């Protein structure tokens, strides 16, 4: 019977699979030793929790008669060496503020246009004979924002010694009264990490 020899790369691949670390879920607290030099999920969790806690403690979100403020999201600038989506921070803040019962977020107004364009597009159905006009949106139904949230994420690297570096991340946020243009609240969370000079923080 003729035997076929398996290619060498098949054995190599099998060996690599046998020795590789198994994939597992990461828990922000239980796996605190798995800290990266870059910004990770735990950093966003802390920055968002600090911001929401500070806003609620300050009392600026306590509206008369228990009503909710309408919040719009303004620019949140990424001034780090990393390509990160600032929505990873802002979304966590939005969820916590919504759950607090103090704030609702408009998706019809944004710096770069509406977050949800269907809010405006649905208004184009007025006077369209293909749609029952009793089901279209009447004029004057949208609620304008009262507050805006803006901010910046900043990164600063500094050498500690020949082998280590310190990486600091500044999460800075501002809550503005749109009517007056005055900042009602400002907060900053600083997260510092010591890492090997061989670690890449971008």
- The pair of structure tokens assigned to 65 is 């008669």
Each residue's pLDDT tens digit, 1-14:
555 455 555 555 55
Contact 169, 153 (CB under 8 A): yes
Domain 39-115+141-202 falls in which CATH fold?
Rossmann fold (3.40.50)
Neighbouring residues of 200: CB distance < 8 A, sequence distance ≥ 6: 37, 38
Contact 140, 105 (CB under 8 A): no
Each residue's pLDDT tens digit, 80-113:
999 999 999 999 999 999 999 999 999 999 998 9
- The pair of structure tokens assigned to 153 is 């994420």
Domains in the chain: boundaries: 39-115+141-202
């Amino acid at each position: 019977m003729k035997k076929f020899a398996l290619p060498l790369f098949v054995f190599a691949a099998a060996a690599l699979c046998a020795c590789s670390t198994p994939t597992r879920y990461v828990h922000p607290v239980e796996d605190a030793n798995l800290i990266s030099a870059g910004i990770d999920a735990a950093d966003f969790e802390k920055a968002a929790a600090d911001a929401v806690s500070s806003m609620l403690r300050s009392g600026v979100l306590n509206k008369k008669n228990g009503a909710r403020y309408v919040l719009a999201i303004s620019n949140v600038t990424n001034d780090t060496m990393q390509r990160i989506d600032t929505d990873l921070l802002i979304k966590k803040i939005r969820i916590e503020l919504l759950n607090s019962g103090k704030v609702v977020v408009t998706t019809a107004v944004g710096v770069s246009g509406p977050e949800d364009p269907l809010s405006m597009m649905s208004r184009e159905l007025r006077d369209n004979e293909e749609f029952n006009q009793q089901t279209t949106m009447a004029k004057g139904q949208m609620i304008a924002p009262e507050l805006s949230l803006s901010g910046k994420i900043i990164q600063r690297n500094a050498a500690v010694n020949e082998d280590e570096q310190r990486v600091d991340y500044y999460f800075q946020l501002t809550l503005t009264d749109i009517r007056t243009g005055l900042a009602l609240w400002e907060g900053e969370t600083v997260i510092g990490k010591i890492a090997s000079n061989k670690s890449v923080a971008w």
